[in-house]
Amino acid sequence: MKPELLLAAGLLALTLSACGKDDARAAPPADAKAAHADEAGAGHDEGAADHEEQAESTTIPAAIARQSGIVVAAAGPGTIADEHEVQGLVTPLEGRVARVTARYPGPVRTLRANVGDRVRAGQTLATIDSNLSLTTYAIAAPISGVVLARNAAFGEVATEGTALFEIADLSTLWVDLHVFGADASHLRPGLPVTVMRMGEDSGVATTLDRILPGTATASQSTVARASIANADGLWRPGSAVRARVTVELQPVALAVPLSALQRMDERDVVFVREGERYSARPLRIGRRDARRMEVISGLKAGEQVVVEQSFLIKADIEKSGAAHEH
């Protein structure tokens, strides 16, 4: 080995030896090591708690919250509805459907209305050449409404009593709700009803008009009937609908909208705003209906709860938690 390499090796060995002696002299006693470990552990636990607290909350500037559509409302007393959800059919009102017939037999000369047309009372729907008087007479709409059916064709002979048109006034419709079993015993006229199209969560509010005395033959269900306004014509006879019938309103000490509820770490939570900070608050939930839920514990009256876009708060908290883990 070259002399300069031997010299370097010797100096390295002396340095390591000196370090070992210094470490030995500087090594704290076992009790001191244990104390230091306890302090470090305590600091670690405190840090973990801080980390957990940070992971359960987020800060969002007020301007960004407004732009994102985040809305808060104070938690407070409310009512929970005892509701029955049922299905039914939209039907025209009895007495508001007219069948238009020929007064005298003869060939159809003109047709002036088609299925789906809105017609007014007295409007000419067709003309017919009478085989009896050899004159042409007009067929007029007896009521205002919508043409549901047209059974007449140009040139065909209309016979006396044959329905050429069917017209219905659809400005108001019936909703026949089919109720099964014991649920029927809870229903009575005057109860509030919300009628919804299939696949929709919002609808129109009305009340039960009557409970029909018989049962539907095919389904053996009790039929509860309500009326809905249809000025825009968007409700169509024969359409299947859903409905929520409110049997009773039960007051509760504390309630928040269902839109506030989120699920985090297998817990039901809402997000409470304090200034610009939003914190996840685990809840114990009681009764609920289609719009609200009762809060048994975990929240106080007056606290500001996120009631719209709460999923944005959840996403922001989970994103912050994932960033801390990395």
| CATH number reported for the structural domain that contains residue 284 in this entry | 2.40.420.20
Q: Which comes out higher in pLDDT, residue 42 or 198?
A: 198
- Element counts in the chain: helices (H) and strands (E): 4, 22
User: How many domains are contained in the chain?
Assistant: 3
Mean pLDDT of the chain: 83
Q: Are residues 243 and 267 in the same domain?
A: no
Q: Are residues 88 and 210 in the same domain?
A: yes
Residue 25 maps to a domain: no
Residues 6+ apart with CB under 8 A from 233: 146, 170
Q: How many residues does the chain have?
A: 326
Domain that holds residue 281: 51-81+251-325
Query: How far is it, in rounded angstroms, from Cα 166 to Cα 101?
Result: 9
For the four alpha carbons of 244, 201, 87 and 166, in that order, the dihedral sign comes to positive
What is the tens place of the pLDDT at every residue in 289-309? 888 999 999 999 999 999 999
> Does the pLDDT value for residue 237 go beyond 50?
yes
pLDDT at 187: 87
When pLDDT is averaged across residues 192-217 and rounded to a whole number, the result is 89
> Does the pLDDT value for residue 35 go beyond 70?
no
pLDDT at 301: 95
Q: Are residues 88 and 234 in the same domain?
A: yes
Q: Are residues 67 and 108 in the same domain?
A: no
Indicate the residue among 216, 249, 282 that finishes a domain: 249
Residue 237 maps to a domain: yes
Q: What is the pTM of this model?
A: 0.60
When pLDDT is averaged across residues 13-23 and rounded to a whole number, the result is 36
CA distances from 150 to 91, 147, 157, 166 (A): 19, 7, 14, 7
Exposure on the CB side of residue 5, measured as CA atoms within 13 A: 2
Q: Are residues 87 and 198 in the same domain?
A: yes
Q: Which comes out higher in pLDDT, residue 158 or 201?
A: 158
- Among 23-27, 107-111, 201-205, the range scoring the smallest mean pLDDT is 23-27
Q: Are residues 183 and 221 in the same domain?
A: yes
Residue 24 maps to a domain: no
When pLDDT is averaged across residues 219-232 and rounded to a whole number, the result is 91
Q: Are residues 87 and 195 in the same domain?
A: yes
CATH of the domain at 191: 2.40.30.170
Q: Are residues 188 and 137 in the same domain?
A: no
What is the tens place of the pLDDT at every residue in 124-150? 999 999 999 899 999 999 999 999 999
What are the backbone dihedrals phi and psi of residue 32, each rounded to the nearest 5 degrees, phi first? -65, -40
Residue 116 maps to a domain: yes
Q: Are residues 298 and 286 in the same domain?
A: yes
When pLDDT is averaged across residues 239-252 and rounded to a whole number, the result is 92
Under the banding of pLDDT at 50, 70 and 90, the label for residue 42 is: very low
